[in-house]
Amino acid sequence: MICAGIDAGSRTIKVVLLDADTRKVVAKAVTDQGVEQDKLAQKLFQKLLKSGGICRKDVAGIVATGYGRNAVAIADTTITEITCHAVGVRHLVPDAMTVIDIGGEDSKLIRLDKSGRVRDFAMNDRCAAGTGRFLEIVARRLGVDIHLLGELSAKSRNPAAISSMCAVFAETEIIGLLASGTAREDIIAGVQAAIASRVTALAGRNIDLPLVFTGGVAMVSGMETALESVLGAGVIVSPDPQMTGALGAAILACDRK
């Protein structure tokens, strides 16, 4: 029996197909988000079925999660991304106690209890300054590929101080830094530190370890180091971090069956 999890995020749509008996991933894929979310999700879902030689009737359950979950008509039900990320992380890192998820348009800090249930959470969903969108803005402004940000920030010897807590004002601040001759690598290192500070501020004083880092931004090199520097503690990057929410949704679809 196969179950599916669909994470309709703000920037991308992710689909995971899971064997309900072994709880192993059968297939997974990601595509860019768009206006017709349901059509994009269905197309990606059908593509995975075809590539895996799986019949639609063999899929026993589908759970949708993420920003656009209510637009996914093929789903049997929807579950919040908070719950799905918690389940996905605990499947991959069984003793995880805290999850930091940084996506394209928001960031979350999720606290778990010893059984893996969500104890509480905090979100930053009103400003792009602590999200992947901010990194995209910075990469475009500096004329570099977003995947090279970490490589450049590693060369920084004097990270720039980014004081603005708003993406718009921070971009203006970056323009000023460039005009003053500040090196690109120092600006990037400063931006990554600012994002890490903004996200970890959601936690307050105490964070229970182990802490697992998920979401698309976890794939940007340098962000893990920035978080560790701010937290003063180790950070575990979730395996295939962009797919964690979809994995959790697929697991929950299996549990329902």
* Pairwise CA distance, residues 156 & 190, whole Å: 9
206, pLDDT greater than 70: yes
pTM above 0.95, yes or no: no
Task: Report whether pLDDT(134) > 90.
Answer: no
Task: Look up the domain containing 43 and give its range.
Answer: 2-87+242-256
**How confident is the model over 157-186, as a mean pLDDT?**
87
Confidence of residue 158 (pLDDT cuts 50, 70, 90): very high
Mark whether 149 and 49 lie in a shared domain.
Answer: no
Query: Taking residues 63-81, what's their average pLDDT?
Result: 96
Asked if residue 16 lies in contact with residue 249, where contact means CB atoms within 8 angstroms, the answer is yes
Lowest-confidence region among 21-30, 110-119, 226-235, 239-248: 226-235
Confidence at residue 124, expressed as pLDDT on a 0 to 100 scale: 81
* Average confidence (pLDDT) over 156-183: 86
Strand pairing category for 107-112 and 25-32: unpaired
Q: How many domains does the chain have?
A: 2
Q: Is the separation of the CB atoms in 256 and 67 below 8 Å?
A: no
Are 105 and 222 found together in one domain?
Answer: yes
Banded model confidence at residue 188, pLDDT cuts 50, 70, 90: very high
Polymer length in residues for the chain = 257
Q: In whole angstroms, what is the distance from residue 86 CA to residue 90 CA?
A: 6
Instruction: State what percent of residues in the chain have pLDDT above 70.
Output: 96
- Mean pLDDT confidence for 85-89: 98
Same domain, 55 and 114: no
- What's residue 199's pLDDT? 86
Please give the Cα distance from 194 to 219 (Å, whole number).
Answer: 17
What is the SS3 assignment for 111? strand
Q: Are residues 101 and 226 in the same domain?
A: yes
Pair of tokens at residue 16: 């995971």
